[in-house]
Amino acid sequence: MLESKNTRRHKIMPVFYDVTPSEVKNQTERYGKAIVSHANKKQFDDETICKWKAALNEVGALKGWDLQSMPYRGKGEFVKEVVNKVLTELKTTYWEVSDCLVEIDNHVTV
């Protein structure tokens, strides 16, 4: 994502769901434990781990949505806000977002 942001000027709009931006940025709690776990397993070289840390730091610093900072709002309102902002950014015609959001599965028929 960051490579695309930096080379193609794509926009990243992070959604921090059940995690705080500072946890991502500073690699604390679950993110910190995951980084340490990967480093200890030696599955990835130090350069890769450093790139991951830098990427997490950059993404954590981006302006986005943090569900935990909006406890007074329901998840439905949170999703509506994200969808409306994405639609605005894409500069598409506004689509009515139902109050009753439903999960949609994509099916491809061959």
Whether the pLDDT of residue 103 is over 80: the answer is no
Measure the CA–CA gap between 43 and 67, rounded to whole angstroms: 33
Number of other residues whose CB lies within 10 A of the CB of residue 21: 19
pTM here is: 0.69
% the chain with pLDDT above 70:
81
Q: For the chain, what's the residue count?
A: 110
CATH 3.30.590.20 fits 2-71, yes or no: no
Sequence spans of domains, the chain: 2-71
